[in-house]
Amino acid sequence: MNIKSILIANRAEIALRIIRTARAMGIRTIAVYSDADRNAPHVREADTAFHIGPAEAVQSYLNAKRIIETAVEAGVDAVHPGYGFLSENADFAADCKTAGLRFVGPSAELIRTMGSKIEAKKHAVAAGVPVVPGYNGKDQSNEIMSAKANEIGFPILIKASAGGGGRGIRIVKKASDLPVALANASSEAKASFGDPTVLLERYVEKARHIEVQVLGDTHDNVVHLFERDCSMQRNHQKIIEEAPAPNLPAPLRQAILESAVTLATSVGYRNAGTVEYLLDENTGDFFFLEMNTRLQVEHPVTEAVTGIDLVECQLRVTAGEPLSFRQEDIACTGWAIEARVAAEDPADGYRPETGDIAAFTAPTACRMDSGVEAGSVVTHHYDSMLAKVIAHGNDRASALAQLSSGLTKMQISGITTNLNFLNDLMRSDPFSKGLHSIETITMLYPNGWPAFTVTDKIRAIAVLARYLADRPDHTTPWDSLGAWRSAAPGGRRGMAVYHLEEQPVELYETSEGITVQLMDRRPQRFTHLIFTHDRLVFEQNGQRHEVSILYDGTEVQVSNETGSFLIRVENGEEAFLSKTSDAGSGAYEIRAPMPGVVAEVLKETGTQVKVGDPIIIIETMKLLQKINAPCDGELSTIYFRVGDSIEKYALLAKFTPKEPQE
């Protein structure tokens, strides 16, 4: 191995993933970090680290010049880009070579060719690989695009030529909606990837997303590492991935695998790459979508079923070594499933969440790749993914059971996550049977995902946990004041008063246990209590129960086999303070639901608007969110301009409501 040190031009879990393999290979690692990541885990784990700029990605992790300067200064042999950021930037790969650095990935020419969906499709056609009917011409005028869309037939899929991750994508079902959709997709593509070019494809309504992991070396060897199914998606973003693909007939699987190797061989592909396909469930036809010239987020499921370390392969290929195995040496053993845990609120349109992670408990019996920990700060500057949880079993059922159990035991407090949503998906009939498609989530939740119902029992457990946590060293409540009041009738030793959802809740402790009295509900009695910092054991009606607890001030997170629930529990003093404080909100103003950057201001002051009209677009965690008018009337004041950074709940605009007519 002639690579002795590498700079990792990335952050969070993928940086840690690369460090793990590099360390095992005896390769020295150099991390880079922004202002926001100064104390991040990947910075601590690397052998050394360099500060490269402010929190904004464009000034740090996307600052190619600064990263190359740092790599040269550190004296490294190679640069590993991970995924995202500069990983598919051909100019960055070329500049690394010019600076005497080896780029861990394919050549700049290959990235430029296969990283463009338009160019990649041309090569696929030349290699005899089937592609989705569509239009990828240079003429992007509305007239040409409309004419081509009519030729292809609706529904139509608009896609950004550069980049991915669900950005710059629109589904158009009728011709009259095309101009607006084109403008929006192009604008989003420009904002996300710096390239407004889009292409048109026939939209396959019942489709699966199948991708093939390929590896090529500098000795003309190209192999596949079998396929992955990434069909469980929302807003064109992957959520759950698995290997192998379920319910895929052997002849069809073989045809897809051979197609991927044919394409990779035809372009002389080097290093790790992924060839992505769309499988039409109605016809059994498969079509080439694109090629990702980098490591994929979901690569751990391939590693699990093949036993091959893909990062090690990348480094050895970059060092000029031949692959150590042939196609016939690679076997697919067992089944692996990966779930992406994200800081988002699925019940609120998957709105990205930011804030401090108060507690973080890893899953058991599963592999977890994560870049955060208790105390980490989740900002709007980067992707919302917190962790990837991967289960590997002898078959799909055992892998699914293992993953579900692991996610149930995983706890993250301080911010809202999609853990309950993931568990709900895995228990759904289409996914459990392996019959899901890219439309499954839309079909399961046509009106959006409904949050799990919080039962009276869960509420009572949350109040009980808060009460027990408030007791110094878990002694008696008489050692402190707080929520306690003197009351001792009927053998009671005391009474505590808390507030839950603005309603008072009373707790009575007796010699036998503790009773929680929710207003107008049946009392919940708990006996034989065992309480630690993260676990509560009790008996109720003769049955033993054990739940996981995370406690952070007024927020209590309760997790059991049904899901994870975050509940705000205040004692009497806290409730009084929260009710008397002035939140400053009004009916005729709009505030930022999250921190971010003002991407676009759609209306000018003095404009007459109607309720629901888009006013401002905020960019956060690579997503664009429209903020709409709260009433009919006049837009009287706008407080921010395009490019301004904003905090959560910042006042964006005020309105003068329209006077009601007599």
Q: What is the dihedral of CA 194, 189, 383, 104, to 10 degrees?
A: -50
How many residues does the structure list for the chain? 662
Strand partners, 496: 484, 507
Among 77, 131, 88, CA closest to 110: 88
The DSSP H or E segment spanning 16 is helix 12-24
CA dist 525 and 177 (Å) reads: 58
3-state secondary structure 515-557: EEEECCCCCEEEEEEEECCCEEEEEECCEEEEEEEEEECCEEE
Written as one string, the DSSP assignment of 571-636 is EHHHHHHHHHS-----TTEEE-SS-EEEEEE-S-TT-EE-TT-EEEEEEETTEEEEEE-SSSEEEE
Is 20 marked active-site?
no
CA dist 213 and 239 (Å) reads: 18
- Tokens 């989705």 label which residue? 132
- Tokens 């139509």 label which residue? 156
Q: Residues 170, 294, 340, 396: which is the catalytic one?
A: 294
CA dist 81 and 311 (Å) reads: 11
> Could you tell me if 368 and 389 are in contact, meaning their C-beta atoms sit under 8 angstroms apart?
yes
Among 53, 30, 57, CA closest to 43: 30
Distances (CA, A) of 514 to 7, 554, 573: 57, 20, 22
Give the 3-state secondary structure of residue 147: helix
Q: Sign of torsion, CA 588 591 597 599?
A: negative
Among 35, 40, 38, CA closest to 14: 40
- Tokens 């480094």 label which residue? 315
Rg (CA), the chain: 27
Residue type at position 244: P
CA dist 386 and 378 (Å) reads: 9
3-state secondary structure 268-286: CCCEEEEEEEEEECCCCCE
CA dist 231 and 238 (Å) reads: 7
**Hey, which residues are catalytic here?**
294
